[in-house]
Amino acid sequence: MKDVINLKVKWTCQKMKIFCEIIHNCYSKIFYENWPFWFAGVLIGIMSILTFTWERPWGVAGGLKNWGDSFFYMTGLYSQKPSSPFFTASSILTIGLLYGSFTSALMSKQFALRPSSIIETIKGILGGSTMGIGAAMAKGCNIGGFYSAISSMSLGGICMMIGLFFGANLGIRYLYWELDNIPSSPTKKIHNIKKKRKQFNFFQLQPFLGFIGLLLAFVSMWFYAQNAYTKIGGLLLFGILFGVILHRSRFCFVRFFRDPFMSGEANMVRAVSYSIIISLIGFAILKWTGLRGEMVFVTKTFWFGGLFGGAIFGFGMVIAGGCGSGSIWRAGEGHIKLILSTISFALTTSIVNKIIQSYPEIKKIMGVRVFLPEYITYGWSIFLIICIFCFCSLLFTWNERTEKFIIEM
Partner 1 sequence: MQNKIQPNETLDCIGLSCPMPLLKTKKKIKKMKSGQILEILGSDPGSKNDLPAFAERAGHEYLGENEDDGFSRFFLKIK
Q: Where along the sequence are the contacts to partner 1 (CB under 8 A)?
A: 34, 110, 112, 114-117, 120, 175-176, 179, 184, 187, 190-191, 193-195, 197-198, 250, 252, 258, 262-265, 318, 321-322, 330, 333, 335, 337-338, 409
**Which CB, 271 or 338, lies closer to partner 1?**
338
CB of 187 to partner 1, least distance (A): 5
CB of 189 to partner 1, least distance (A): 9
CB of 110 to partner 1, least distance (A): 5
Angle formed by the axes of helices 336-358 and 304-320, nearest 10°:
160
d(CA 168, CA 131): 12
**Which CB, 102 or 297, lies closer to partner 1?**
102
CB of 401 to partner 1, least distance (A): 11
**3-class SS at 221?**
helix
**Which CB, 230 or 267, lies closer to partner 1?**
267
CB of 198 to partner 1, least distance (A): 6
**Which CB, 152 or 399, lies closer to partner 1?**
399
H or E stretch at 44: helix 37-54
CB of 304 to partner 1, least distance (A): 29
**3-class SS at 335?**
strand
DSSP string, 229-266: -HHHHHHHHHHHHHHHHHHHHT--THHHHHHHHHT---
**Which CB, 156 or 326, lies closer to partner 1?**
326
Q: What angle do CA 5, 8, 10 make, to 5 degrees?
A: 110
Give the Å distances, CA to CA, from 331 to 112, 235, 344: 10, 20, 13
Length of the chain: 409
Let me know: does 288 contact 141? Beta carbons within 8 Å: no
**Which CB, 124 or 233, lies closer to partner 1?**
124
DSSP string, 131-157: HHHHHHHHTS-IIIIIIHHHHTTBHHH
CB of 129 to partner 1, least distance (A): 18
**Which CB, 155 or 268, lies closer to partner 1?**
268
**Which CB, 175 or 209, lies closer to partner 1?**
175
d(CA 254, CA 256): 5
Torsion angle of the four alpha carbons 340, 343, 345, 351, in this order, in degrees rounded to the nearest 10? -140
**3-class SS at 104?**
helix
**Which CB, 85 or 115, lies closer to partner 1?**
115
Give the Å distances, CA to CA, from 8 to 5, 14, 16, 17, 184: 5, 10, 12, 14, 65
Name residue 114's beta-bridge partners: 335
